[in-house]
Amino acid sequence: MMNTKVRDLLNQQINKEFYSAYLYLDFSNYFKAKGLDGFANWYMVQAQEERDHAMLFYQYLQNENQTVTLEAIAKPDKVFASHMDVLRAGLEHEEYVTSLINDIYSAAYEVRDFRTMQFLDWFVKEQGEEETNANDMITKMELFGSDPKSLYMLNQELAARIYSAPSLVL
Ligand code: FEO
């Protein structure tokens, strides 16, 4: 039997990951409106990855014979004053998600739920990559964002990102 606190946190994480997908779709929407299709693509792929994360939590709970409860997804309601604002919101959000994964891990550790800990290991690593990516975006914007030609090149680079399914299979 899965500990109820661990189960509830895993269930909540489904919603948090779907919200992440929604948030990044909103980022994509922002950049599309600004004519930066490469950035819009990058965040569209990010949204797809977040949907995958949500489905991994969903699948894990189902595999463990736990009842899944789907809650309403919050509206992404931030208004951005600049491109950099969006990128900083992305980093802040990933740091928040890392803290959520750590909280679930702690709860699983407390009750010696080794299976959940093993499942979460992939997410611990993934969050490291997510934060690195978010930081890289900020650095690139700091370096190239103020020069139109450089921003054009950066936009081209980000247009090349393609979606690939997660390496974790349940
Ligand atoms: Fe699902 Fe961006 O963490």
The answer to whether 58 and 68 are in contact (CB under 8 A) is yes
Q: Domain range spanning residue 103?
A: 4-159
**Distance from the alpha carbon of residue 21 to the mean position of ligand 1, in angstroms:** 8
Quick one: average pLDDT of 73-95?
97
- Residue 133: inside a domain: yes
pLDDT (0 to 100) of residue 169: 87
- Residue 166: inside a domain: no
- Residue 170: inside a domain: no
If we measure between CA atoms, which residue out of 141, 131, 119 comes closest to residue 95? Answer: 131
Output the six-digit token pair for 154: 């950066």
Nearest CA, atom 1, ligand 1: 50
pLDDT (0 to 100) of residue 118: 98
- Residue 167: inside a domain: no
Summarised one tens digit per residue, pLDDT across range 14-41 is 999 999 999 999 999 999 999 999 999 9
Q: How many H-runs (helices) and E-runs (strands) does the chain carry?
A: 5, 0
- How many structural domains does the chain have? 1
- Residue 70: inside a domain: yes
Summarised one tens digit per residue, pLDDT across range 137-161 is 999 999 999 999 999 999 999 999 9
Residue with tokens 């290991």: 121
pLDDT (0 to 100) of residue 81: 96
- Residue 64: inside a domain: yes
- Residue 76: inside a domain: yes
Residue 134 has pLDDT above 90, yes or no: yes
Residue 27 belongs to domain with CATH number = 1.20.1260.10
Output the six-digit token pair for 123: 């997410």
The answer to whether 84 and 37 are in contact (CB under 8 A) is no
- Residue 141: inside a domain: yes
**Distance from the alpha carbon of residue 119 to the mean position of ligand 1, in angstroms:** 15
Quick one: average pLDDT of 160-166?
96
Q: Which atom of ligand 1 is nearest to the CA of 54?
A: 1
Quick one: average pLDDT of 100-114?
98
pTM of the model: 0.96
